[in-house]
A and B are shown apart, each in its own frame.
Chain A
C-alpha cells in the first residue's frame, strides 16, 4: 500500500536498523527480509519517524529538498511493502524493545 505522507509512521519493532558507511542495512526479524538503504538522508528520515507526526514532517525535519521527495516516497513505499515501516497508532509511546 503506498505511504500516506500525512500519517504518522514508525519503524516496525521487529526491524533492526544498522548504520553503514553507505546508509544502512535493515533486517526484519519476522519476515527475514533484508533491505539496503542507500542514502544517509533516507536513514535520517526513518530514524526520525517516531518523533514526528507524519512522513511529510519527517522529510521537512531532515531538510530533504522537495525536488527529491518523489525518490524518497518511492523508497518509503518499498519499505512499507516489505513491512519495515508501518503506520503508527497514536497512543502514547511505549518504549518497546526494538529487535
Chain B
C-alpha cells in the first residue's frame, strides 16, 4: 500500500483490524527490542534466562553497538530495553546509552542495582528519555537471596534508595514470580508504593539456568490462580502480556495478551545474535546476526524464523479447548525448554492439559530430548547463586 499522501484523494473508511491482529502478523520494524549488551554479571541468579556471568569475548565493540543504534534510529525503533547480564558492567555503558538517547532511541534498562552508586544515580537522574527497572525476587533477603545470591537484596534496595535520593523519579521494580515469593506480592506492592515505583511481575521460564530449577521454582496451579486474582484486582501492576496463559482462568488480564516475539519485539544478544525473545536464547530461535550483510533490518524483515512466527498459528493440541482464544496456547519458550512441542499445551496450562505430557517426559518416555542452549555463560567455579559485595556509597 503506498504511503499516505495528503494530496491524494482520501481513502474510504474501512473497518479497521484490532491492533492485536496487526501486531500478530508482524511490523516492518520492532516497536522496541530487548538488547542484552553483555553476558558479564556479578551475580549468578539461579534462574538466569541468559545463563550470564562471564563476558563473551565476541561481545560487540563500542563502535558496533553504536552502529546498531544508528540502524535502529533509521528503522524508528522507539526504544531499547537494555539488559544483560548486568549492563552496567560494560565499561562503555553510559557511552552506549548516551548515543541511543542522542539518536532518537529511548532507553529502558534493567539492572540488579549493584553499580548504582551515588554518582551513577545522579548521572542517571539527569538523563532524559531513560527509564530504569531494578530486579528483585523477594520482598526480604531471606526469599530473594536464595535465588539471587547473598547481598543481592541489600544491593537492590540500596540502589533504589539512591535513585530516590537523587530524585530520579518513578522507576520499576521487576520480580520473577516463583513458588517462594507468591505469598509476598502484597509486600512487593508496598515496597513499590513506598518508592513511588511501578511493580512489574514476570513469568519464570525454564530458560538458561532456569532449566535446572524450574520444576521446583515455578508456581503451583493454586499459586497461579492466586496470582491471577491478585493481578485482576490490580490493573496498575504491569504484566498482562507475560502471563497471558492465565487469561484462560476468567476475564483476560489487562494488556494485549499477545506473544510479541519476532512480531513486534525481539532480542539482540551481546554478540549481535538476534533471537525471537530473551527467553529463547537457543539456535532453534536464532534469526541471524546484526553483523550479517543485511544488518538487523534484513534479519527482522526477511529471516525464515521471523517470517514463520508471523504466519497464523494453528492451535495444535489446543484446538478443542474453549480457552485457546484467551491463552493462545501459552508461551513457546516455556514449552520448548521443558521438552514439549510448540503445538503442545503450555506446561503451566491452567487446565492441566500438559500434565500427562510432562509426566511422560519425566519418566523418560518422551521421544525428544530436553533442549539446552549451546553456550553457557556462567562463571566457572562460581556458586549459583553467588554472593555480592555491597558498595559503600
Contact = CB atoms under 8 A, between A and B. Distances in A.
Contact of A16 (B11, B16, B78): B78
Interface stretch (A4-12, A62-70, A82-90): A62-70
Contacts of B19: 36, 38
Interface in A46-71: 47-48, 61-65, 68, 71
At the interface, is chain A mostly helix, strand, loop or mixed? mixed
Interface stretch (B22-30, B34-42, B333-341, B381-389): B22-30
A63 B19 CA distance: 25
Contact of B76 (A16, A38, A47, A48): A16
Contacts of A63: 9-10
B90 to A, nearest CB: 23
Given A16-B76, A32-B131, A41 B17 contact: no
Contacts of B31: 25, 27, 34
B293 interface: no
Given A16-B104, A39-B16, A63-B10, A22 B4 contact: no
Contacts of A20: 22, 27-28
A34 B265 CA distance: 14
A73 interface: no
B10 A47 contact: no
A44 B4 contact: yes
Interface string B77-101: 0110000000000000000000000
B6 A61 contact: yes
B11 A32 contact: no
Contacts of A41: 4, 10-11
Given A22-B22, A25-B31, A39-B14, A62 B6 contact: yes
Nearest to A62: B6
A63 B11 CA distance: 9
A40 B10 CA distance: 8
A21 interface: yes
A33 to B, nearest CB: 11
Contacts, number: 67
Contact of B4 (A27, A40, A64): A40
Q: Size class of A's contact patch?
A: 20 to 34
Contact of A21 (B1, B78, B104): B1
B129 interface: yes
A93 B74 CA distance: 25
Contacts of B76: 16, 18
Contacts of B16: 22-23, 38-39
Contacts of B3: 19
Most buried by B among A21, A40, A41: A40
A99 B14 CA distance: 30
B343 to A, nearest CB: 29
Contacts of A38: 16, 19
A19 B1 CA distance: 11
A47 B5 CA distance: 9
B106 A19 contact: no
Given A18-B76, A20-B27, A36-B19, A48 B6 contact: yes
A27 B9 CA distance: 27
A78 B31 CA distance: 21
Contacts of B106: 27, 29, 32
Given A20-B28, A29-B106, A29-B129, A47 B6 contact: yes
Nearest to A21: B1
A47 B10 CA distance: 14
A76 interface: no
Contacts of A43: 4
Interface of B: 1, 3-6, 9-11, 13-14, 16-17, 19, 22, 27-29, 31, 76, 78-79, 104, 106, 128-129, 131
16 contacts: A18-B76, A18-B78, A19-B4, A21-B28, A25-B78, A27-B79, A34-B31, A36-B22, A38-B19, A39-B14, A41-B10, A43-B4, A63-B10, A64-B10, A65-B10, A71-B13
Given A21-B1, A39-B13, 4 more contacts: A21-B28, A22-B22, A27-B31, A63-B10
